Structure 1
């Protein structure tokens, strides 16, 4: 065995020592001064492909649903259960795979999740009833629920503080683009080929991401946190070489002072102690509020247009696509500006601003498809800037030893909100009426705004290690 391999094996199995902590600090300093290079952009693109189809898979059922309602004679409660089943599975997957990523690494866990949600996408093609679709969507949700939080931790750990928000959110904007693509596919494919075509398209990531796996290194921050300093240094060296090959002169790394008493082991219970307790409860509250509203809206709108307002199928799907497209535009604006505005100010403003169109729909009675299209789209687009960027924010709130599991737990509440939203819409539409859906969502947005103002911390311009000792 070579000296380098022996050292790597020793560091792989050894506990992190003060000496390794100093080496870790130097490695972080080298990462923080790196520019955005084609190599980093390639990582963002590869992970983005998986995230794109994760988002597509989440919303594909909404555009298949108008046909399924007729084919299987589904009730509003059954529609809500089918939509929500995926989110319940996502809740479980977020917790399960977030914890697994702390143990076996971001990269290996990421590809387990992709294999799971792609295989269950294929299974959905053979669903024969509402019950079978609920089962397949639940299992598929376990995979999709694990992919995004692990991918978020992975991407955030390559980027320095100054560019983190913009770089990460230009990756994360692929999620609402995936939602919009689901609407496009639904509009053109479902009327011609039927609902199963939505799931055929979802099989594409298996053909794209598996070969690209070999271009992706493991997170150097995760490697260093496990004492695998030699491997972490090798990854950072590749990134440095990518920058210098383009003629970039790198600044000398400035390492932070090493805290020899800092914790190095991962223990999920730390999420509920010290400074992390308030952060954990805050991200849970924000996730629950924003996803309850947005997924309640976007997954139900095509069915509402078709069943409640009696619009033609293609018109219903086109209206749903418009909502998703406006959400993408709002997300891109957020990605470009959030490093300047800051996370807390943006979130508080978005929650409070979304109350206006939601209350307008309640007051007007939501009596026409046009009213719903205009005001529901406005509320969705405003809140989508919060929804798609919460993975950035939650990744910033935790240290490397807790990042994947912390983001995973937060994502579980995100999925809980996603599951509750469609069921709330279904029960209220079947009972008091559609206008009260928007009153309930306005109250939820108010709660989200108050939680942000009271409990959220600002993270812009600070390294991950500064934010989380």
Structure 2
């Protein structure tokens, strides 16, 4: 039996009997530590999404100026997704093998330097090559960011905090569209790559303060390091006046393989939802300004209209913050998908520009509500700690892979059926997601993170009333 003791704290535990690291984290109320972690992770995700979403605005300018064609624009988007797919799978392997913190540092360095290289590109082929490298860095952020925050936040408020992180991420869309509208007419398209490149390197320096996940450290047998980090978090909570209940040990899980029968259903469901959301997201964000311009709308006006509709992004994530822990994951995703399908169908059948913009805003809000609920909250919850990032990487990576071919499908639909054909595809995909979640989904709301990961070891003793009360923050 091996004991680790911190004098003056409550961190005495036995690794022979089981783990208390997760239980100790779960009963620490959210406080300034969690806020700082949210800021450091959220800042990188905002920059990451800013970099992703500049494609729609930059590509319409490149097309209009003759620097590119529709086919080269499609190659640009596909190269981004090819790089992101590689980065996603790499993040899953690196994150589960070498830690969450190292993955954070690598992805920021890669996409920051590659974005600066894209700003200096001398032709479309070089720009596409830089975008591929940039995508490798971009692909790691979603897998790493949401999983890391989920491993620190207590279950009673996990949905709210992950939705807040999604709000930070969704502000990347709003910021990118606003900056594009304000800066491209003045400074040209290159500044849209320079801004996230420099910002990523700055956040890379700030993220030195992020601790490694204690759950991951314990899974790797690094018990003393895990204990030290949790002790520090507990001490910071006590300084706010919080009283921490005694944690109960529970059996540790040791499976290292994602290819087990109990993980098949969540892997299939997570993959379906990621394919739907990535296809819809980039059908709207990456192509809408181009579609509006090709239909005769001036570039500045198309960028302005896209920026207004993009306000729906943070609004949708904010709604997820309000409802995630109240409505629950399963109902929230099913109902949200049905509403999104209805909004998209309406958006494709209105003729008035103002009405179209209103339904476009509602479609964006519905989409980003689903991104927050599915991608930020639900996916990290349905897999256990030891394989969480690899399972997330499989779902997200296949979603990225589907997005490689999606631009060519979107262009084909637009050229043969206009915007209506593209919107029809979008609402059908939302309907598929609603049915999939209704049939395959399970409820994970308010459950301890390691109780909802599909592990065969699920024999934790009931929580005491005192411990449950400590989660209510």
Moved more, 50-59 or 319-328: 319-328
Partner of 2:194: 200
1:33-72 equivalent positions in 2, closer than 5 A: 33-72=27-66
Secondary structure at the aligned position of 2:20 is classed as: helix
Counterpart for residue 238 of structure 1: 232
| Match of residue 256 from structure 2 | 266
Given that residues 91 and 412 in structure 1 are in contact (C-alpha distance below 8 angstroms), is that contact kept between their aligned partners in structure 2? yes
Q: With structure 1 as the length reference, what TM-score do the two structures score?
A: 0.90
Aligned to 1:383: 367
Shift of 1:81: 2.3
How many angstroms does 1:150 deviate by?
A: 1.2
Q: Distance in 2 between matches of 1:441 and 1:136?
A: 29
Deviation at 1:361, TM superposition (A): 4.1
3-state DSSP of counterpart to 1:255:
coil
* SS of residue matched to 1:202: helix
Question: 2:163, 2:376 within 8 Å by CA — same for their partners in 1?
Answer: no
Give the aligned CA root-mean-square deviation in angstroms.
2.2
CA distance in 2, matches of 1:111, 1:342: 33
Q: Could you say if the C-alpha distance between residues 115 and 438 of structure 1 is closer, same or farther in structure 2, counting changes exceeding 3 Å?
A: same
- Given that residues 165 and 338 in structure 1 are in contact (C-alpha distance below 8 angstroms), is that contact kept between their aligned partners in structure 2? yes
Contact 1:72 1:129 in 2 (8 A): no
- CA positional deviation for 1:265: 4.5
- How far the C-alpha of 1:144 sits from its partner, in A, is 0.5
Pick aligned residue for 2:339 from 336, 353, 358: 353
Is the alpha carbon distance of 1:29 and 1:132 closer, same or farther for their aligned partners in structure 2, counting shifts above 3 Å?
Answer: same
Residues 1:147 and 1:359: Cα distance change in structure 2 (over 3 Å): closer
Question: What is aligned with 2:462?
Answer: none
Listed as ranges, the matches of 1:5-404 within 5 Å are 20=15, 22-23=17-18, 25-256=19-250, 258=251, 262=253, 264-267=254-257, 270=258, 272-308=259-295, 310-364=296-350, 369-370=353-354, 372-389=356-373, 390-404=375-389
CA contact (8 A) 1:106 1:154 kept: yes
Alignment partners' CA distance in 2, 1:387 and 1:21: 40
CA contact under 8 A between 2:116 and 2:198: conserved in structure 1?
Answer: no
Q: Deviations over 1:164-193 (max 9, x none)?
A: 111122112111101110011101100101
* Distance in 2 of aligned mates of 1:105 and 1:150: 10
For residues 132 and 323 of structure 1, the distance between their equivalents in structure 2, rounded to whole angstroms, comes to: 31
| Cα deviation code 1:86-128 (max 9, x no counterpart) | 1221111111111111111100111001100101101111223
Residue aligned with 1:391, SS = helix
Q: Distance in 1 between matches of 2:189 and 2:210?
A: 35
1:206 Cα deviation after fit: 3.6
How big is the shift at 1:417?
4.3
Instruction: Give 1:205 deviation, angstroms.
Output: 2.6
Does structure 1 conserve the Cα–Cα contact (< 8 Å) formed by 2:162 and 2:372? no
Matched, 1:464 2:454: no
Counterpart of 1:249 in 2: which secondary structure? Answer: coil
- Structure 2 gap ranges (5+): 6-12, 456-473
In the aligned structure 2, how far is the partner of 1:194 from the partner of 1:318?
A: 16
- The one-character-per-residue Cα deviations of 1:229-264 (angstroms, maximum 9, x if unpaired) are 1000000001001011111111222333x26xx4x1
CA–CA separation in structure 1 for the residues paired with 2:290 and 2:348: 19
- Preserved contact between residue 266 and residue 401 of structure 1 (Cα < 8 Å): yes
Structure 1 residue ranges without an equivalent (≥5) = 8-17
In the alignment, the residues of structure 1 paired with residue 354 and residue 297 of structure 2 have an alpha-carbon distance, to the nearest angstrom, of 11
The separation in 2 between residues aligned to 1:449 and 1:91, in whole angstroms, is 25
1:186–1:396 Cα change, 3 Å: same
**In the TM superposition, what is the alpha-carbon distance from 1:407 to its structure 2 partner?**
1.2
Aligned partner of 1:451 among 418, 436, 440: 436
**Higher fraction of helix:** 1
**Number of residue pairs aligned between Structure 1 and Structure 2:** 445
Distance 1:174 1:414, change over 3 A: farther
Distance 1:21-1:282 versus aligned 2 partners, 3 A rule: farther
Contact 2:104–2:141 at 8 Å: present in 1 too?
yes
Q: Distance in 1 between matches of 2:410 and 2:358?
A: 18
Deviation at 1:4, TM superposition (A): 11
| Paired residues of 1:175 and 1:388 also in contact (CA < 8 A) | no
